[in-house]
Amino acid sequence: MGENSKNAVLILKDGSIVHGKGFGAEGIRTGELVFSTAMQGYQESLTDPSYAGQILISTYPLIGNYGISDYAFESKRMHAEGYIVREACNSPEHMDSKMDLDSFLKEQGKPGMQGVDTRSLVLKLRNYGVMPALICVSKEQVNVAELLKNLKFDYENIDFISNITVQKPEEYGEGEKTVVLIDYGAKRNIITELVKRKLRVVVMPSFATAEEIKTFEPDGIMLSNGPGNPAILTHAHKVINELKDLPIFGICLGNQLIAHAFGGDTFKLKFGHRGVNQPVINLKDGRVRITTQNHGFAVGKIPKKFLVSEKNANDGSVEGLDYDDGHIFSVQYHPEATPGPHDNVHLFDRFVKIMR
C-alpha cells in the first residue's frame, strides 16, 4: 500500500479520538461521518456526488481487492472527503485494475485511514447518529487538541450542489424524445440508462431556470440524486413546480425535492440509508425489492395529490411518491445503481411510457 509511516487520526464532534494508519493523500478534511454496508462498489461510492461533504466508513472489512478501473466511475472525481476502512488491500487483482486504492486517493488529494475498528465506529453512529468529524493524515505528529478545537462543520446548511453541477448544458444520445436531466449531482449511470432507451438527454445545471429548460422542448424531466439538505434548495423547489405539467421522474434527492416543490417536507434520518442491500416494499404489488441507497434525509409530510408508493422495510420511511394521475413519480433509492442490484431498473421504462 505504499508508505506505512503516515499517522492518521479521526476526531469526532463528541470528542472521540481514533488513531490508525494513513494512506492516500496527506492532509486534513472535515465532513459528516457516515457509513455504508456495501460489500463491493467502493469506487462507485467514492465517486458518487451524493457523498460530497461526508467522510465515508465501509463496514466490510477488506476494501480495494479489485483495484480501481476506468469504467466504474460515477463521476469524474472522488467526492467523499475521506475514506475509513478496516483494511485496505495493497495488491489488487483484477484484469481491469489500473491502480490500487492508496494511489487513487493520492491522485484525488483525499486522505484515507485503515487499521481501525470500524465496527465500533458504526455502532456509535447507529446509537448516536451521524456527526461532524475530522480526518488527518500526516507523517508528522498530530496535535489532536488543536484539531478538535477547530472542528466546525454544519452539513445541513451547506449547498454542495453549486460546486458539483455542470456549468453549461451537455447532450448525450439521440432519439425522438428529449429528456432534460437536472444535475444536482447526477451519477453517470442515470445518463447511461436513459441513452440505452434511445432518448436524447440534455443535462442542465442545477441553477437553470424553468424557462431555460423549456427551450430544449423536453418530453420529460429527470431529477437526479445529489448531496445535502433538500430543504435549503429553494431554487430547485420553484423550478420543479414550474415544470409540473411535464412528466417528471425523480431519484434520491429528486424524490425529496418533489416533496418540497409541491408542499411537503423532509427530515433528517438518524444515520441514513447507505448500502446495496436496503429492502423496499412496493405498496401496489406487495413485493419486496432490494435496492442501493445513499441518503441522509427522508420525506416527511406528503404533498397533496401524491401517494406513497413504496416504503422502507426496515424503518417504514417513504421510498417512493406517485402523483395521482401518474405523470410525476419518484423513488428514494437508486434504480440505476452499479454494480447493482438491478431490481428496479424497469422504472426507466415506466418513465419512457409516460412520455408518450
The answer, yes or no, to whether the previous bond of 339 is cis (omega within 30 of 0) is yes
How far is residue 47's CA from residue 113's CA, in Å, rounded to a whole number? 18
How far is residue 269's CA from residue 273's CA, in Å, rounded to a whole number? 8
How far is residue 48's CA from residue 6's CA, in Å, rounded to a whole number? 27
**Helices 234-242 and 253-261, interaxial angle, to 10°?**
70
How far is residue 42's CA from residue 185's CA, in Å, rounded to a whole number? 18
Q: Which residues are tagged catalytic?
A: 252, 334, 336
Give the three cell numbers for residue 108: 484525488
